[in-house]
Amino acid sequence: MPELPEVEAYRQLAEGALGRPVERAVFGDRRFARGSSSPRHLVAALAGVSFTAARRHGKLLVLDTDGPDGAPHLGLRFGMTGRLLVDGRAGVERLIYSSEREEAKWDRFTVVFKDGGRMVVRDPRLLGGVELDPTESALGPDALGVTAGELRRALEHSVVALKARLLDQHRLAGVGNLIADEVLWRASLAPHRRSGSLTPAELRRLHRHLHLTLDELIRRGGSHLGDLMPERRFGGHCPRDGTELVRSTVGGRTSWWCPRHQH
DNA sequence: ATTGTGGCCTGCCCGC
DNA sequence: TGCGGGCAGGCCACAA
């Protein structure tokens, strides 16, 4: 599913859409419009502009424009099944939980450029969305560049489950369910640990593994390519010590973890 | 303010 | 072969 590594791949793909005047934008499904702007307003704001930068903040992809009225920013979210295509090329090949099929009705939002090319958000389940001028300040620091101090501030003074905090995009942006399980497993921390209970050593360990894991998954090419992923099922075993994994719901999400080495 | 819960959305897989 | 139910989780509205 699109977590930080996939959206980073989408961002790089979207760089191929920069500097190309937009002829028109089209909603394949009006429900894909998010935020306070109507689909009509969003489409009108994009006509004639060119994208000037493709930025990623957590799982949010932002395309800046050279538009006149304060240069509108286009926010793209991909939910768990959304893909980005530029001129027919996909940002990632395989997307777990989504479908490989090509259905015209899944093209929820399309930007047609004056050169004839196009950028498409394809999302079978409509869990993503397109928003004009998304409120980036509502997001926590990006997980890829988060400092140890920022991570500590995102987690301290809270009795909420550690994993729930890691998934809270307002505190830390970019970690989704699969990566949360992978990072906690690598850092030997139980998902239900109270967020504020981590010792300085555990915080350092978590910070180190967060960066190592994200770097590795970006290199491998997807959030579903972690070492824990193949065992995230009934009867699955810990790749480190062979213990049968436990499944529980933490922070409202299905969580798999090793009862022997994660504390 | 913080925190937890349910709903949205629909492809896919399973059992009957 | 079709059908119903359960499942997946990012995000948001809502309640306590």
Give the Cα separation of A155 and A196 in Å (integer). Answer: 6
> CB of residue A249 closer than 7 A to nucleic acid strand C?
no
Average confidence (pLDDT) over A175-184: 92
Give the pLDDT score at A108: 92
In sequence order, the β-bridge partners of residue A121 are: A84, A109
Q: Is the pLDDT of residue A42 over 70?
A: yes
Give the Cα separation of A262 and A198 in Å (integer). Answer: 13
| pTM reported for the whole predicted model | 0.94
Q: Which nucleotide is nearest to A131 (CA to C1')?
A: C11
* Residue A52 CA, nucleotide C7 C1', distance (Å): 40
Tell me the per-residue pLDDT of A48-88, one tens digit each, with 9 for 90 and over. 999 999 999 999 999 999 987 667 999 999 988 899 999 98
Average confidence (pLDDT) over A193-200: 92
Give the pLDDT score at A93: 64
Residues 78-97 of A near strand C (Cβ < 7 Å)? 79-80, 97
